[in-house]
Chains A and B, each alone.
Chain A
Amino acid sequence: MGKPPSILVVDDDPEMRELLLDVLGNEGYEVAEAKDGTEAVLALRAREFDIILMDKNMPGPSGLDLLPGFRRVCPRSQIIMMTAFGDVPSYMDAVEKGAVEYLFKPFRMEEMKAAIVKALASKAGRGPG
């Protein structure tokens, strides 16, 4: 457990990515970023992440479109989806496609940290595969 957990942030908004990188880096996580699906795929080819924090709404393939592929490519990663508030139908969709957590924007940073801790705990519970 010496190595800090790794997180890939996938969001098309640079300031949102910057915020998340700041906050999560400050928490001691090892954080990488991707601005869309293509970059995310490239990043996932390079290495494995414990957590993928992904926005639903992005230009090109949406977070929901990417979800099933990510689950195949890196089955051990825990995927947390982010979307605008009130988007209950895509929440159901995401859970079905294998997202472990779901955050409605705007969410509090504390909320996000709690979701990540929970996702890591459930990953640890399942074991390293």
Chain B
Amino acid sequence: MRNLTTRLVILVMAALTIITGLFDYTRLVDEHARLLRVTQDDERIFAETFALAVSRNVRRGRTTDDLKDLLDEILVRPGLIGVAIFDPDERLVTQTLAPGAEPARSDELVRTALTTGKAASTTMASGSGRVLRYIQPFRWPGGRTGAIEVRQTLAGMEKEFRRAVRENIVSRLVLLALFVLSVVALTRWNIVRPIRALIEAARAVGRGDLGQRIRVNRRDEIGQLAEEFNRMATNLETAHDALLHQTGERLRLEGEVQQGQKLGAVGMLAAEVAHEIGTPLNIISGRAEVLGRFIDPEHPGRRHLDVILRQTERISGIMRALLDYTRPRRPALRPEAILPIIGRVADLLLERSRRSGVRIALDLPVGLPPVLGDADHLQQLFLNLLKNALDASVSGGTVQVTTGPEPHLPSEGRSGIVRGEAKGECLAIHVEDSGKGLTADQLNHVFEPFFSTKGRGQGTGLGLPIVDEIVRAHRGEIEMLSVPDKGTEVIVRLPLAQTATGGPTASGTADTQEAHEHAR
């Protein structure tokens, strides 16, 4: 009964059946009475006529046999099953019977007719259906009253009535069926179908498909409902879009403000330092240049001078990098194979790793999917991470570079920090050292500018903030995990370049193998 059409059909059918049933019942009852009346009238007229004929014959003194002949002639009338004549003393004078009919006898009804002189009639049950008896008195010689009895079977009438009932039922059933069909069709087309469409659309909107609309091609209540639904969906969509836009805008602004504040502090400091050391650097390099004019290019002291000049250049380079960090350029993102980048970084650090006795082990499979990145920025990122890992390790240790979804450090005693939020498919690169690790408190500060766990004068405190900036600019995330006395693991997750053809280039593979060679 959950179905609207079924309920409607049952309701309509019940109402229709009761109404037409009552109507048909009374009509048929009336019809039956009418048929009976007609038969009775028929019988009466016939009996009256016949009584006149018998009366005349009796008064003329006809014999019983003559009367019997008359009765026999009369009996051919259809429906008649018996005719009898009674004298004034209620004695049966003669009778004629159809085959199988019950013989007539004088009874109360005959007596009543003879004494009152009025016609009497009744119906009675008989072996072959109901029978109508009609007693008609007539004038008997000598001023007395005789009676004739006419019996007629009602079988024909009953048969006709039953046929009428049958026809009525059949026609009613056909009518009902047609009605039900039309109700089903009407509700299906006009109510069920549009409501189902509404339900589907509402479900879709519920699932978050706010672009869902219903085609409206009617002006009735359902059409209005659909229109209202569409209006609601449009409003929802507009509100949703506005909210998304606002949220995005707010996040962007918040990020910019945060970045601005942080870079403001760093930038001011950097500019200050740059101003302060610009002049002394200039004096050193200028004096070295002046000195260079007095020293012959072949002179052994010339080498020392060149070193001084080179080192002042290097200091300016560092200062420029610091200033660049405070004015970071936007990365140019494009599909990049990560292997050649890390390979180059390992190459750069080869001398350093040899000096400190720490091995760099690149354990990255060939065929890693390309990431969406800026090669220069990514190189900077891994350079900073690997430098940190080298510095954290003691001689004889190993810095491992691997890939995979799960951290390698055991979860026991492990603390961690995550920066950024990577969405979609990512490539995870792990950089692990076997150093003395960091405490949870230290981890909380590692991404702050000028925070350093290295000895005084050894670290700038800008390595990880730069890494953080780069990872964020790549819409990736960085996770730093550490277990004291076991080591530190940094996991960089970078979004994959979805549209790229995939796989590193041939040169990338070669670079990496080369890096492997160097590392061993």
> Which residues of A are in contact with B by a Cβ distance under 8 Å?
11, 13, 15-16, 19-20, 22-23, 26, 55, 57, 83-87, 104-110
Question: Shortest distance in angstroms between B278's beta carbon and chain A's nearest beta carbon?
Answer: 3
Q: Is B423 an interface residue (CB 8 A)?
A: no
Is A22's CB under 8 angstroms from B290's CB? yes
Is B283's CB under 8 angstroms from A13's CB? yes
Contact status of A19 and B274, CB under 8 A, knowing A85-B319, A85-B323, A106-B281 = no
Q: Is B393 an interface residue (CB 8 A)?
A: no
Is A106's CB under 8 angstroms from B289's CB? no
Residue of B nearest to A15 (CB): B283
Residues of B within 8 A of A57 (CB): 275
Interface of A is mostly: mixed
Is A87's CB under 8 angstroms from B282's CB? no
- Total contacting residues, chain B, CB less than 8 A: 22
Is B285's CB under 8 angstroms from A16's CB? no
Q: Is B316 an interface residue (CB 8 A)?
A: yes
How many angstroms between the C-alpha atoms of A107 and B316 in the bound complex?
10
Q: Is B40 an interface residue (CB 8 A)?
A: no
Is A86's CB under 8 angstroms from B286's CB? no
> Which residues of B are in contact with A by a Cβ distance under 8 Å?
271, 274-287, 289-290, 312, 316, 319-320, 323
Residue of B nearest to A110 (CB): B289
Nearest 9 interchain pairs by C-beta: A105-B278, A84-B278, A106-B282, A86-B323, A106-B281, A84-B275, A105-B282, A19-B286, A84-B274
Is B290's CB under 8 angstroms from A85's CB? no
Question: Shortest distance in angstroms between B255's beta carbon and chain A's nearest beta carbon?
Answer: 24
How many angstroms between the C-alpha atoms of A26 and B287 in the bound complex?
13
Residues of A within 8 A of B320 (CB): 85-86
Residues of A within 8 A of B278 (CB): 83-85, 104-106
How many angstroms between the C-alpha atoms of A85 and B327 in the bound complex?
14
Contact status of A105 and B290, CB under 8 A, knowing A85-B323, A86-B271 = no
Is A106's CB under 8 angstroms from B274's CB? no
Residues of A within 8 A of B274 (CB): 84-87
Contact status of A109 and B290, CB under 8 A, knowing A57-B275, A84-B271 = yes
How many angstroms between the C-alpha atoms of A79 and B160 in the bound complex?
134
Contact status of A105 and B279, CB under 8 A, knowing A19-B290, A23-B290, A85-B316 = yes
